[in-house]
């Protein structure tokens, strides 16, 4: 007998197959029993007709609780009325394990209730769709760089120094020594770019974010390319091409999941090159036009990002922020040293910053001054300074938060649903 997966039943029409999965729901009508069975690749309706199967089996199936595991043998039939377009006409059925009463039912549950049961919530069709889209986003991101000659070079998780400011560090006791969970792989990618030319990393990053917003996690995944001999313009070209390419792949690969989420994909389809590029100073003017006075010099928060992004129909790239509100490693604009050669890419529809990056300071003395000006300890950065001592070159890169990208693609409000097991200010379980 053919062992099949629901995702590919269309290839088995008319054949008898074996499916193994879990019971999602059931209803009966006289001699007919309709079982919704999911197997991780999809859900299919299995129709059991009492006279067709052993009497005891029919009775057992009629009482089977949601999430019981089972094996079903039946014939695949095309049926336009069935959800998904196919159904299984059951010939035999065996139960693996009868489930206890499942706490998550089709009725509405509060988010805290669901997050406490995240290990079970993953089985629901919405969460399933979101996390499959996430997997496709990660694959598309990796493929983009793998296919263009980048070397994957992952950075360490335990780090001695702050990359993105000292206020969001998670300290760890490392055999009596104080180290930190990484905030970004960037500094290590810079070392990699000097060794391999073009590199990227993809991994978890950690920020002790005290803010409870829809865009912040304390543990999130970031993909970070870094390229030697690249300037800010090249970096923006790369970020734009990368986003368009990832969107195209995910749209092609995950149509069904996006439909299930009822995502209107027109905003994603509109995200074509070129993305508008405006300077921070122009952005402050745009905010003023929109009736939102913003003091020149202050960084943008979620509210400013939402107003700015709403002025465009595709992601917008905001470059050259005031150096004072950005990280120590950024190169100043030679044309106006108050500015940093950096870029933030803001997604449409209120999703905010999905990419942050820019050109790095490549001059040893300037970098030493910046480390001092940011009141960072010098010693943990000695190795990083070496990169400017031995053949320093212009270089640039960026980081894209996987969860923010997935939230935008899926059109869901909060990033917490875009990662299998979210970590936030008040959540470290399950
Ligand atoms: O702008 P950020 O802080 O940039 C960096 O970390 C650079 N070192 C990256 C680089 O140039 N290699 O973070 C980059 C991206 C943001 O644009 C956002 O998408 C995401 O990481 N991000 C977060 N996502 C979820 N929760 C948080 N707390 C996040 N903080 C940043
Ligand atoms: Mg940023």
Q: Where are the domains of the chain?
A: 2-97, 118-418
Q: Where are the alpha helices (DSSP H) in 64-158?
A: 111-116, 118-121, 125-146
Contact predicate 179/171, CB 8 Å: yes
User: Which tokens go with 213?
Assistant: 């917003």
Structure tokens at 141: 């991101």
Q: State in Å: Cα 427 to ligand 1 middle.
A: 20
In this structure, the chain runs to a length of 430
Q: In whole angstroms, give the CA distance from residue 90 to residue 34.
A: 10
d(CA 395, CA 319): 16
Superfamily name with CATH number, domain 2-97: Nucleic acid-binding proteins (2.40.50.140)
- Closest ligand by atom to 186 CA: 1
Which helix (H) or strand (E) segment holds residue 27: the answer is: strand 16-29
Identify the burial level of 368 via C-beta atoms within 10 angstroms of its C-beta, where 0-12 means exposed, 13-18 middle and 19 or more buried.
middle
**pLDDT score at 407:** 98
The pLDDT tens digits of the residues spanning 363-412 come to 999 999 999 999 999 999 999 999 999 999 999 999 999 999 999 999 99
Q: Which ligand is nearest to the CA of 321?
A: 2
Q: How high is the pLDDT of residue 44?
A: 97
* pLDDT averaged per 10 residues, the chain (length 430): 94 97 95 97 96 92 97 96 90 97 92 97 97 98 98 97 92 97 98 98 96 94 98 98 98 96 96 98 97 96 95 97 97 98 96 97 98 95 98 98 98 97 96
Nearest CA to ligand 1 atom 23: 401
What number of H helices and E strands is found in the chain?
13, 19
**Does residue 119 contact residue 81 with C-beta atoms inside 8 Å?**
no
What is the C-alpha to C-alpha distance for residues 396 and 277, in angstroms, rounded to an integer? Answer: 17
Provide the pLDDT for residue 118.
98
- Distance CA(217)–CA(202), nearest Å, equals 16
Domains 2-97 and 118-418 in one fold: no
Best substitution site from 200, 216, 220, 412 to test ligand 1's pocket, by max atoms within 8 Å of Cβ?
220
- Ligand 1 atom 24: residue of nearest CA: 401
The answer to whether 385 and 364 are in contact (CB under 8 A) is yes
Closest ligand 1 atom number to CA of residue 226: 12
Q: Looking at the CA of 399, which ligand is closest?
A: 1
CA end-to-end span of the chain: 39
Joined together, the tokens standing for residue 163 give 């990359």
Residue 107: predicted pLDDT = 86
Pocket residue to mutate for ligand 1, from 399, 406, 409, 418, most atoms within 8 A of Cβ:
399
Longest Cα pair distance anywhere in the chain, in angstroms?
85
Please tell me whether residue 264 adopts helix, strand or coil conformation: coil
Q: What is the pTM of this model?
A: 0.96
Report how far residue 244's alpha carbon sits from residue 275's, in angstroms, rounded to the nearest whole number. Answer: 10
Q: Which residues pair with 3 in a beta bridge?
A: 18
Cα distance between residue 392 and residue 96, in whole Å: 62
The domain defined by 118-418 carries CATH number 3.30.70.980: no
Paired tokens of 322: 């005031």
Q: What SS3 state is found at 23?
A: strand
């Amino acid at each position: 007998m053919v062992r099949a997966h629901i995702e590919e039943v269309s290839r088995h029409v008319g054949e008898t197959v074996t499916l193994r999965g879990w019971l999602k729901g059931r209803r009966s009508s006289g001699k007919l029993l309709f079982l919704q069975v999911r197997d991780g690749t999809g859900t299919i309706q299995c129709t059991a007709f009492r006279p067709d199967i052993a009497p005891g089996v029919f009775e057992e199936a009629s009482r089977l609780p949601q999430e019981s595991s089972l094996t079903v043998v039946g014939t695949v039939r095309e049926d336009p009325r069935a959800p998904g377009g196919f159904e299984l006409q059951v010939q035999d059925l065996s139960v693996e394990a009868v489930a206890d009463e499942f706490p998550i039912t089709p009725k509405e549950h509060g988010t805290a209730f669901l997050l406490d049961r995240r290990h079970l919530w993953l089985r629901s069709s919405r969460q399933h769709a979101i996390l499959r889209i996430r997997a496709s986003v990660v694959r598309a991101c990796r493929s983009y760089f793998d296919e263009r000659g980048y070397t994957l070079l992952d950075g360490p998780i335990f780090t001695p120094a702050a990359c993105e400011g000292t206020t969001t560090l998670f300290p760890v006791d490392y055999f009596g020594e104080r180290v930190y969970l990484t905030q970004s792989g960037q500094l290590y990618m810079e070392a990699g770019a000097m060794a391999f030319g073009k590199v990227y990393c993809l991994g978890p990053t950690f920020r002790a974010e005290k803010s409870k917003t829809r865009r912040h996690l304390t543990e999130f995944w970031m993909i970070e390319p870094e390229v030697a001999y690249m300037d800010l313009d090249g970096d923006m070209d790369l970020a734009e091409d990368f986003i368009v390419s990832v969107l195209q792949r995910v749209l092609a690969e995950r149509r069904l999941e996006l439909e299930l989420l009822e995502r209107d994909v027109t905003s994603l389809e509109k995200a074509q090159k070129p993305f508008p590029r405006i300077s921070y100073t122009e952005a402050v003017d745009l905010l003023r036009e929109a009736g939102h006075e913003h003091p020149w010099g202050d960084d943008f928060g979620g509210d400013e990002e939402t107003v700015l992004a709403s002025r465009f129909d595709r992601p917008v790239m905001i470059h050259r922020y005031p150096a004072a509100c950005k990280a120590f490693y950024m190169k100043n604009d030679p044309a106006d040293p108050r500015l940093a050669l950096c870029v933030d890419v803001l997604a449409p529809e209120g999703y905010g910053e999905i990419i942050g990056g820019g050109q790095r300071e490549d001059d040893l003395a300037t970098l030493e001054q910046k480390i001092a000006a940011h009141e960072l300890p010098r010693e943990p950065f000695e190795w990083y300074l070496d990169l400017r001592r031995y053949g320093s070159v212009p270089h640039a890169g960026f980081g894209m938060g996987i969860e923010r990208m997935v939230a935008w693609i899926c059109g869901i409000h909060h990033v917490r649903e875009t990662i299998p097991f979210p970590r936030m200010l008040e959540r470290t379980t399950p």
